[in-house]
A and B are shown apart, each in its own frame.
Chain A
Amino acid sequence: MAVKREKIFVDSINEEICTLLVGEKALSVNLPARMLPRGTSEGDWLIMTLQKSERLKRSYRRSMERLLEKIESNG
C-alpha cells in the first residue's frame, strides 16, 4: 500500500480559514478550519497521511457507471 506522510505547520487561523504550510518547502495552502483535527490551534504541527485507495476508486467508478446507465435511459 502506497502511503506518504507530510508534516504540516498551522500558520494562522482567521475567519474560519486556516493557512497551512505543507512539507519541507512550506507550501502555503488555505483550508476551512473545520477540516482540522479538534483542538488544533495556531502554531501546532500536524502529520498528514496520504494513502492511495483502490477501494474508493472502484466504488466511485461503479456508482458513476450506474449513474451513466440511468442518464442514458432518460430518453
Chain B
Amino acid sequence: MNFGLLLRKYKKIFIFLFTLIISLPVGAAWISRTEVAEADRGLRFYAFDVGQGDSSLFVLPDGKTILIDAGPEDAGKSLLKELKRIGIKKIDLLVATHPHSDHIGGMKRVLSNFQIGKIWDSGFISSSPIQKNFYNMIQKKNIPFGRPKRGYSEKIGGALVEVLAPARLIRGTKRDANNNCLVLNIKYGSTNFLMLADMEREQLSTVRPLPRAAVLKASHHGSSNGTNMSLLKEVRPYVIILSYGKNNSYGYPHKEVVRAVSASGIKRLDTKDGTIRIVSDGEKISYPQSREVVKNGG
C-alpha cells in the first residue's frame, strides 16, 4: 500500500493529528495569557514548602514582588526553582523578618540569583554567621536597606504594606530573635494578609489590636507560643497558613493550635505538602480547596 492510499484510507485520523499538532502551541500560549491576565487583575500570594522554615511571596497587581524570608539554606535550591517556575525575575522588596537560619538561610541564594530592589530587616542582631554573611552580601551589592518600625507603611505595586512590629526592642525573653520580628500586614483592597513571622507572646502584647485579615500566616510554624484562640478571635481569618516541615523534630504544629483553628472553623492550609497559592481580587480571595486540611492532625 503506497502513501496516497494510506492517506485516503486514514484521512480523518491524519486530519485529527494535524489539528492536534497545530493547536498545542496555541493552547499553551492561551494558558500563559490567562496567567498574565490573572496577575493584571489581582494579587497573588504564595507560601512555599521550604521544609522546616518559612518563605512567602506576593506578586502585586502591577507585577511588583515582595519576598518575605527565604527558608533554611538547604531549601534554597528548591525555593529558587519555585521562584523561577512562577516567572520571577526581580524582587522589589526582600524582607528578613528575623535572623534565625530557617528564615534567612536561603537569602544567599536569593541575593545571588535575583535583582533586589530593596531590603527590609528586623534590625535585631543575633551575631549569627548567616546573618553576618547576609549583611556582607547586602553591603557588597550596595542594595538599599531599611529597618522599618511599627507605624511605617508604604504603597507598593497597588498594595499597602504596613509594619506592625517591631514596636520596641524586647530583651530578656527565651527567644529574643522571635520577639523582635518584622510583622507585616499586606493590604489589597479590602483583603488583608497578616504575616506574623515567628512572633511570640511577648511581642504580641506590643502590636495589639491586630487588624482583621482574610489570610493569616500563622506565627512560628504553628507553635502554641504564637497562636491561640484569643488571637484567632481578634484576627478572624478566613484562611490560616501553617508553615512547617514534614516530620519536624519540634512537633509543629502544636495540638493546641490545631484544635483552636478547627474549633474556629477557619480553613487551614499547610506548606508541608507543597506551595500554596492564594489570589485576591481586592474584595475576596480564592484558594486551593483541595489543599484544605480537614483532619485535626498535623
Contacts and interface: CB of A to CB of B under 8 A. Distances in A.
The answer to whether A binds B is: yes
Interface of A: 9, 11-15, 17, 19, 21, 24, 26, 28, 30, 41-43, 45
Contacts of B87: none
Contacts of B73: 26, 28
A11 to B, nearest CB: 5
A64 to B, nearest CB: 31
Contacts of B105: 28
Chain B binding surface, main DSSP class: loop
Interface in B87-142: 100-102, 105, 126-130, 133
B177 A21 contact: no
Contact of A15 (B129, B177, B250): B250
B172 to A, nearest CB: 10
B234 interface: no
Contact of A42 (B72, B102, B176, B223): B176
A9 B133 CA distance: 14
A20 to B, nearest CB: 10
Nearest to A14: B250
A17 B127 contact: no
Contacts of A13: 174-175
Given A17-B250, A19-B100, A42-B175, 20 more contacts: A9-B128, A11-B126, A11-B128, A12-B101, A13-B174, A14-B223, A15-B249, A19-B101, A19-B102, A21-B128, A21-B130, A26-B101, A26-B128, A26-B129, A28-B74, A28-B101, A30-B249, A41-B174, A42-B174, A43-B176
Contacts of B72: 28
23 contacts: A9-B128, A11-B126, A11-B128, A12-B101, A12-B102, A12-B175, A14-B223, A14-B250, A15-B249, A15-B250, A15-B251, A19-B101, A21-B101, A24-B129, A26-B130, A28-B105, A41-B174, A42-B174, A42-B175, A42-B176, A43-B127, A43-B128, A43-B176
